[in-house]
Structure 1
């Protein structure tokens, strides 16, 4: 493979063009061409695609800049579509919408008109938001996000990213959460479990509304908090080293020791502080890495083993609290109090892996090994060595079982980070919040749930909206749902 890559890099432009021409001619197979030039088949495909694209462009009909491509009937409905689409798709302000219509269409529109259209769209969006049946949601992600000083209660489907709760409230206590979760339950929401951070109001509200529905811990927040502790201690250790070096350099420049020995005492104290700070930072960094890569990682040991490792980390942090109690104790207490919630995902994974083992009549340790395989990068020799060993032990069941394990892992969420992602998207719509007030959340929830993904790392989400993914049913374009459709430009 390395020789092929090197040959491809050394191949001049003229050689690449000749290779593409030979491939297009079809007189020789791609494998033969790759062997002749010492390159990979993938490289030959790439050059062929470039040549094909160049030919298509060369022979495509030339379109003049002033040629009419199509005609569009500018109606009142179409203008309302533009007024709604510009703030939502392009994140334009009210004045940006007015400027667009003035400069491109020569149409005078007031800020009041823009506001009225968006208010009407918001009322329709609020009605549409109440339509979908939420019974298909199996895992709900709950969190409290903030728009300024106002808390926003949010709930998102882990599989489809459909947002079923997004409302600004003055409080985030148990009663407030409970009321909204009861409302969602009336629309069919009854997930197998939810994922949330350690917020007391959130968890108490869910228990009051849904009884014994489990609420798993969110690993995202605790990992970020733990890594923040490790980073802070590392900076303190670096500062101690810097102070020691400064004192040492001062002694060297003086050329002689201080007669009273004060500088020597300061230097010795600095060295002692540096050693303690460096050891503490190194130990905590190691414990945090174990927590992230061995205990809270999706591909990992069974729940019982994770609990032992988790308890070990907590004990080791407690042993080092006296070194920096103000910083270490809050993290240690948070870990200790949330252990069972944070590791709940491991129990779900254990059940699913055991189900796979029974379905394929394979020993459970082998299924666990297939899960642990994904701890390794696919570019490492260790990955492929383990892959080969597992394939030899599983025989013809290997590929189908590996796919089943991958699906189970993909369907076992551990964090509510999708809500954090939602929060980052909401922040770009500040102008709507300023003009529409709290109702803008209804409009944004509608828009984000009904616009179709242009691209996604998950192939099943491509060209589908979160609502379509959640319900399994199609729906009209989001502008049509707002009573502003259909979208049918008339071709020339």
Structure 2
């Protein structure tokens, strides 16, 4: 049985440190960096964050994180004491919800997400904070949807995409566009696809139909794990491969005729 690994909670993951602590960056230096960066952000001094990162040999993301931590501390220290003590947590939650909505539903770049969030006076609106938050949330999401102990009968649409040269195996539900499972894989052989499909079944999803291209590994994995399920070539590849075979045949005929004429 191949089950999805238990995932840490969102709250715990958002609090984890992302950076390796450098002994030469003392607390005083970090406070100086945070103060300088926050001052630059609040006064819209473009290029200042880059200058700070170069001066101290640190990433822009780290500079933004220090500035954001100082900003949050200041908001906590100087906020109106009559406010609800849970207000900061609610504001953080609202900011994350806004961030995810703009990013996923609006299909916006991180820069555009930052622009919209700043207009709405949201926390975590800097590019660095958005990048960190999205990375942390992405890191704790499971690779496979959990059917929550209810067997789901679905159409599987499976294919490989690539992150540079590394294959990413993906299966989606074509009706809802929900990603059922996505995983980085060193190869895309039959065993990789077999394990991919078995993990889906172990998490409560049963294929009633499989749509895919004619990749050798994918088809072999289908035969090993889903031999009882009908597989159909997707329309694009079915047409493209058919046209490709015609093109190859016509090219051979044409070149043969040209050669005979010469």
Q: How far does residue 221 in structure 1 lie from its aligned partner after superposition? A: 1.1
**What does residue 166 of structure 1 align with?**
182
Residue segments in structure 2 that go unaligned for 5+ positions in a row: 1-86, 257-262
**What does residue 82 of structure 2 align with?**
none
Indicate the SS of the match to 2:223.
helix
Q: How far does residue 158 in structure 1 lie from its aligned partner after superposition? A: 4.5
**What does residue 95 of structure 1 align with?**
111
Higher RCO structure (Cα 8 Å, ≥6 apart): 1
Q: Give CA deviations for 1:10-34 in whole Å, capped at 9, x if unaligned.
A: xxxxxxxxxxxxxxxxxxxxxxxxx
For 1:122 and 1:115, the matched residues in 2 are separated by 11
For 1:88 and 1:221, the matched residues in 2 are separated by 28
For 1:196 and 1:215, the matched residues in 2 are separated by 7
Q: How far does residue 186 in structure 1 lie from its aligned partner after superposition? A: 0.6
- Structure having the higher helix fraction is 1
Contact persistence 1:84–1:117 (CA under 8 A): no
Indicate the SS of the match to 1:191.
strand
**What does residue 224 of structure 2 align with?**
208
TM-score (structure 1 length as normaliser):
0.29
**What does residue 114 of structure 1 align with?**
130
- Please state if 1:136 is matched with 2:136: no
Q: How far does residue 142 in structure 1 lie from its aligned partner after superposition? A: 2.1
Q: How far does residue 91 in structure 1 lie from its aligned partner after superposition? A: 2.8
For 1:172 and 1:217, the matched residues in 2 are separated by 18
TM-score (structure 2 length as normaliser):
0.50
Q: How far does residue 80 in structure 1 lie from its aligned partner after superposition? A: 1.9
- Structure having the higher strand fraction is 2
Is the alpha carbon distance of 1:135 and 1:162 closer, same or farther for their aligned partners in structure 2, counting shifts above 3 Å?
farther
Q: How far does residue 144 in structure 1 lie from its aligned partner after superposition? A: 2.1
**What does residue 79 of structure 1 align with?**
95
Q: How does 1:305-454 map to 2 (within 5 A)?
A: 323-324=253-254
Is the alpha carbon distance of 1:110 and 1:168 closer, same or farther for their aligned partners in structure 2, counting shifts above 3 Å?
same
Indicate the SS of the match to 1:126.
coil
Q: Over aligned residues, Cα RMSD in angstroms?
A: 3.6
Q: Name which one, 1 or 2, has greater alpha-carbon Rg.
A: 1
Indicate the SS of the match to 2:130.
helix
Q: How far does residue 208 in structure 1 lie from its aligned partner after superposition? A: 2.2
**What does residue 146 of structure 1 align with?**
162
Q: Give CA deviations for 1:194-251 in whole Å, capped at 9, x if unaligned.
A: 2322211112112222344343334431212334566x69xxxxxxxxxxxxxxxxxx
Contact persistence 1:134–1:187 (CA under 8 A): no
